[in-house]
Amino acid sequence: MKRKCQALFFRKLNARGKIFIEYEPLETAWIPISGKNYEYIYCLWVAGSFKGKGIGKELLEYAINDSKEKGKSGICTLVSKKKKPFIGEKKFFEHYGFKVVDTIGDYELLALQFDDSETPRFNDSARLMKIDNKDFTIYYSPECPYVEYEVNELIEYAKENRAEDTLYKEMKMLSRNLSAFPNLKEALSNPVLNIREKYSLICAAATGDQGVSRTFSRFITLVLKNNREQFLQFICLSFLDLYRKLKHIGVGKLITAVPVDKETEERIRNSAGAILHAQMELETVVDPSIEGGFVFDINDYRLDASIATQLKRVKQQFIDKNRRIV
């Protein structure tokens, strides 16, 4: 069974409602489309009272600019000649320069090119509606963020048992270890391991050699009995997000080319907390590849003041200018 890569990008505006954009590199997208160095938009959703306020424009422009900064050749998405549910509107994308590059029946592939590279195309399997593999394959993905209802039940249960703070620490550590150690996720997907062995691995990843809470134990047992361990990281992230909203906790990540001192780190944490009116959790990361400056992620926003990004923008300006001259 194919597994999703970790390149999926999800951006949601800071409001309660269906207002988000979701995309990832075309090379790893779960769609019958082939192409090189393109981003693929899975979903751009603006619903209800948020329509007509320029939010869709803001989300799409963010994805376009983000793709350019990553050095992509373009960005693409799927639309339909006839209006269908959960598929973007063709006219909206065409307004921003997207053009039809391939067609199958009612479905059209739209692309916005940034350079002269080859545009994406539907796979032959999509045209023929036939695959070589005779086995029955089910793709099940936790991409869609609306599992809040289920995770809310877990939070409410933890609150009733006054265990939400302990459960948060366990979920946080488990999520961190699932990200840091890919072999752990592979082990949890291994059918050779039984439930007891997987349970021990998960508990060790959550608390080390210390015992887990009763709430965490019951939750993990339920996950394993229903064969949902492959979605455990996504469940953890959803729980952490809802808990932080409940407790007014902000999350920040400061990336610098060289280490920052504790005094600077504390000053940034306090300043961000004062702006958001929240208790801040700040992670510091040293990444020499940014060459200088800093990148500061705070909740769903990013301030990129790195030297590397500024050089990329200057390069892109030269490319755009020369293209206009030609």
* 183-193 pLDDT, tens digit each: 898 898 888 99
pLDDT tier at 4, thresholds 50, 70, 90: very low
Same domain, 238 and 253: no
Q: Which residue has the tokens 């995770």?
A: 151
Q: Identify the CA nearest to 92 among candidates 71, 114, 77.
A: 77
In a domain, 139, yes or no: no
Given a contact cutoff of 8 angstroms between Cβ atoms, the answer to whether 22 and 8 are in contact is: yes
219: containing domain: 148-245
Q: How far apart are CA 66 and CA 83, in angstroms?
A: 28
Same domain, 28 and 121: yes
Beta bridge partners of 96: none
Distances in Å between the Cα of 34 and the Cα atoms of 4, 26, 31 are 16, 7, 8
Same domain, 29 and 42: yes
Q: What percent of the chain has pLDDT over 70?
A: 89
* Helix (H/G/I), strand (E/B), else coil: 223: helix
* Helix (H/G/I), strand (E/B), else coil: 297: strand
Same domain, 14 and 123: yes
Of the chain, the end-to-end C-alpha distance in Å amounts to 47
In whole numbers, what is the pLDDT of the chain averaged over residues?
84
Same domain, 214 and 306: no
Same domain, 48 and 118: yes
pLDDT value for 131: 66
Q: Identify the CA nearest to 67 among candidates 20, 29, 114.
A: 114
Q: What percent of the chain has pLDDT over 90?
A: 35
Mean pLDDT value across residues 38-62: 89
Same domain, 215 and 318: no
For residue range 243-285, list pLDDT tens digits in order.
Answer: 998 889 988 889 998 998 889 888 888 888 888 888 888 888 8
Mean pLDDT value across residues 31-54: 88
Same domain, 269 and 318: yes
**Number of folded domains in the chain?**
3
Q: Which residues make Cβ contacts (< 8 Å) with residue 19, sequence separation at least 6?
A: 12, 13, 45, 46, 47, 50, 55, 59
pLDDT value for 98: 97
Same domain, 228 and 303: no
pLDDT tier at 145, thresholds 50, 70, 90: very low
In a domain, 77, yes or no: yes
Higher pLDDT: 300 or 109? It is 109
Mean pLDDT value across residues 35-58: 88
Same domain, 268 and 215: no
pLDDT value for 279: 86
Q: Is the pLDDT of residue 236 over 50?
A: yes
Q: Identify the CA nearest to 10 among candidates 43, 39, 55, 57.
A: 43
Q: Which residues make Cβ contacts (< 8 Å) with residue 186, sequence separation at least 6?
A: none
Given a contact cutoff of 8 angstroms between Cβ atoms, the answer to whether 139 and 2 are in contact is: yes
In a domain, 3, yes or no: no
pLDDT value for 69: 94
pLDDT value for 282: 87
pLDDT value for 134: 57
Q: Is 239 exposed, middle or buried (0-12, 13-18, 19+ CB in 10 A)?
A: buried
Instruction: State both tokens at 60.
Output: 């799409």
Higher pLDDT: 311 or 1? It is 311
pLDDT value for 298: 83
Interstrand relation of 19-25 and 107-113 (parallel, antiparallel or unpaired)? unpaired
pLDDT tier at 133, thresholds 50, 70, 90: low
Q: Identify the CA nearest to 143 among candidates 55, 241, 42.
A: 42
Q: Is the pLDDT of residue 324 over 70?
A: no
DSSP letter (8 states) at residue 22 = E
In a domain, 133, yes or no: no
Mean pLDDT value across residues 156-178: 92
Beta bridge partners of 11: 21
pLDDT tier at 3, thresholds 50, 70, 90: very low
In a domain, 143, yes or no: no
Distances in Å between the Cα of 10 and the Cα atoms of 7, 44, 52, 247 are 10, 10, 21, 23
Q: Is the pLDDT of residue 143 over 80?
A: no
For residue range 73-96, list pLDDT tens digits in order.
Answer: 999 999 988 777 668 889 999 999
Q: How far apart are CA 270 and CA 57, in angstroms?
A: 33
